[in-house]
Structure 1
């Protein structure tokens, strides 16, 4: 646990006992306790323990990290019982809305102090006991999930060989500060879709703005879980399995080819292709949107932070003109050639210490090509192992430039690939940039979608919120996320920047791993 994590836990503990202080002071007065004691953190709960005649060891349990939060909340509930508040709604209000509920009953002249004898004489029904226990469990689990950590499963091989498919992780919400949900009215333990009915698990009747308590920035090279930025719009039929923007781009390219011989003007051709593609996709699919906190969770490594400049040259990642950190478990595809008397096999490579995977619906790590030629997905350590085999030569596979799927998907002005990319500056909060024809495609979505500005382009000019603009000052920090499995990862090279409000937490610990049985060697392994 880092110092920042400990700092966050302590502050949340203080908030739980300090936020109800105003109303608690009114209740203390009615109970014959000096009101000033309600304003002193933990001294107030000590007074509750005494007046309610609760065993005093419960006071000390409050100082256990995280678990102590629930002891403090329970003590607040015990306090309202002293005033004859035994209904379920009273206890729920005391636990969840004490900052409002305590002043309400504290200033109500009809609410009288009854003392611990009233509590002792009150009997709950069996049903009520079960309801209280169930609600407490749900509230506790929800608070832990929102503020402390969340379980996450690796669904794809984009982080191989650092993280494997069916690794089960704990993701720390404390590392970057707990993010308050945009959609607080949601069914617990379900991300965005209910099982069976496949309907939304949340409502946007209440939609809260981005708020992060005790924020700490993402650090370069952290393994981060975040909400998929391009998951704001999607099709109900395919969801994020085939992202809306990929479908739209594919249809746009199809329309472009069909209209190419009919429209001579290139700008007009692209505009009409885009409009027709949108009309077709919106006719053929059911389009829906999701708020930030309900978009799919992705996991990648943060290779560059706000203010950095990245560039990829022949597969080598550079950050601020320096070769970037490469995880020892990061994998890249190599073309491996051997002499005629050297044959490579999966079994032989595994015996040599090379880990090969073949996940469903993905390319295997070992792909035989023509005679004595192979495509193999390797870490740097595994490359050194292969180099020692007589008759083996390796070359890094380099994808050609001009892939239309590559961010910012503007092949008319920018020709990049997964292996030759940039240079590109990562937006930083408070920094102002010049908007030019060369960089508009890179920053348009951040300005328009992530920072919620009205964006228009007319007569070669840019208008932001109806004002002509040649510069823009960013309101958030952004990050560049890439998978360690560099040729098998849909990451920032395809969809761009990750805004700070999309960051969920830091991947912390592998608590379980499964592949036709438990992978015991991966149990309780921290993630680097």
Structure 2
């Protein structure tokens, strides 16, 4: 019997076109960048002076998602590598038709007192809002803020004449912390003098004609150095007196001056909500925590009606917190919109820990000094 041999014919491999190769490369890069941004590190830029002099405007930094644990996505119908809007437009980059339950993957540490933290700005139900708070965007797309964690769940926070106390003990001030001061001089002060002491925010009070007064935001060290100058007569911290609620620019959380006559420099004491802790809903606790219960703690049917909380159709007299909360403040204590003004940061709003600065640009610097070389790859503390 004759043996028949069948020859297998190989099909030639079709070569990808240049357009297809370019598309595949871009797609891979977008997917890889999206995964890295979500799971590990995300780049941020400091847009305001609320953390000066610890962090400067136009510091470029990396934020670790791994430290506190990466959050699972909540808003999944979104253009990759965007936040709230498509680049260079006012077009929303997402639709909120699908909102997934949010979880946090295991991290290797927890938010600690003194950490510099990036979080989604929660906003405050008690005040008008323009910054993308609780009623404007989904949780994971609310505006990113960066502040220093002052208090963790269960801590008692108090500010006395500008000094922070945690659990009745002095909170160590960061070296770069700024406050506002009035400098009385016996002559006009050249702008270069302020620049020498790294004072970028200063203004002369032209309403006063018999004295030369400048209002500056400066670190404690800068103030000590300027006191030695022969033309400086006096430097006074601009600290509000306890119980002064007359200046509406500095109205503070929880916006009830009768029960809480707080201001930016004398605030508290208030206890930060902690998961599993039960409180009685008396008048003071209602004023402090009603926003937590009705807005941030995941209660689908919680309302504040006629001076009481109604949960699932029934009035309640006590409440157990469902998640942890934090108290955040900017190191530029007189130039920061923070927890003193809008309240507590829910745990599900925490994005990550600021770890290091990889670039820093001085927009007013000359060609050779445009980059702040000393800040490159510096650890954030």
TM-score by length of 2: 0.85
Unaligned runs of 5+ in 2: 1-9, 364-369
| Contact kept in structure 2, 1:366 and 1:377, CA below 8 Å | no
Q: Which residue of 1 aligns with 2:221?
A: 381
Q: Which residue of 2 aligns with 1:522?
A: 375
| Contact kept in structure 2, 1:365 and 1:377, CA below 8 Å | yes
Q: Which residue of 1 aligns with 2:34?
A: 142
Distance in structure 2 (CA, Å) of the matches to 1:147 and 1:289: 25
Q: Which residue of 2 aligns with 1:397?
A: 238
Q: Which residue of 2 aligns with 1:325?
A: 172
Distance in structure 1 (CA, Å) of the matches to 2:252 and 2:124: 17
What is the CA distance between 1:445 and its match in structure 2? 0.8
What is the CA distance between 1:130 and its match in structure 2? 2.4
Structure number with greater Rg is: 1
The question of 1:407 aligning with 2:253 is answered yes
| Contact kept in structure 2, 1:231 and 1:290, CA below 8 Å | no
| Contact kept in structure 2, 1:231 and 1:296, CA below 8 Å | no
SS in structure 2 of the partner of residue 146 of structure 1: helix
Distance in structure 2 (CA, Å) of the matches to 1:185 and 1:475: 27
Distance in structure 2 (CA, Å) of the matches to 1:426 and 1:302: 12
Unaligned runs of 5+ in 1: 1-117, 246-287, 358-363
Q: Which residue of 2 aligns with 1:365?
A: 202
Q: 1:231 to 1:135 in 2, by over 3 A?
A: farther
Distance in structure 2 (CA, Å) of the matches to 1:182 and 1:336: 50
1:323-358 per-residue CA deviation (whole Å, 9 max, x = no partner) reads: 1121101100112334x4x6644323444xx1021x
Q: Which residue of 2 aligns with 1:356?
A: 199
Q: 1:501 to 1:203 in 2, by over 3 A?
A: same
1:14-45 per-residue CA deviation (whole Å, 9 max, x = no partner) reads: xxxxxxxxxxxxxxxxxxxxxxxxxxxxxxxx
1:115-164 per-residue CA deviation (whole Å, 9 max, x = no partner) reads: xxx99956544433222212111110000000111111111111111111
Distance in structure 2 (CA, Å) of the matches to 1:344 and 1:213: 54
| Contact kept in structure 2, 1:232 and 1:292, CA below 8 Å | no
Distance in structure 2 (CA, Å) of the matches to 1:207 and 1:294: 12
Q: Which residue of 2 aligns with 1:217?
A: 110
| Contact kept in structure 1, 2:68 and 2:353, CA below 8 Å | yes
What is the CA distance between 1:459 and its match in structure 2? 5.3
How many positions carry a matched residue from both structures? 356
Distance in structure 1 (CA, Å) of the matches to 2:40 and 2:124: 25
Instruction: Pick 1 or 2: higher relative contact order, CA cutoff 8 A, min separation 6.
Output: 2
CA RMSD across the alignment: 2.8
What is the CA distance between 1:291 and its match in structure 2? 0.3
Aligned partner (choices 159, 162, 167) of residue 315 of structure 1: 162
| Range with bigger deviation, 187-196 or 453-462 | 453-462
TM-score by length of 1: 0.63
1:227-260 per-residue CA deviation (whole Å, 9 max, x = no partner) reads: 110189999xx952xx789xxxxxxxxxxxxxxx
Q: Which residue of 1 aligns with 2:47?
A: 155
Higher share in helix: 1
The question of 1:167 aligning with 2:48 is answered no
Distance in structure 1 (CA, Å) of the matches to 2:293 and 2:46: 31
1:70-111 per-residue CA deviation (whole Å, 9 max, x = no partner) reads: xxxxxxxxxxxxxxxxxxxxxxxxxxxxxxxxxxxxxxxxxx
The question of 1:463 aligning with 2:317 is answered no
Higher share in strand: 2
Q: 1:486 to 1:173 in 2, by over 3 A?
A: same
Distance in structure 1 (CA, Å) of the matches to 2:278 and 2:11: 62
Aligned partner (choices 255, 266, 270) of residue 420 of structure 1: 266
Distance in structure 2 (CA, Å) of the matches to 1:142 and 1:456: 38
The question of 1:301 aligning with 2:148 is answered yes
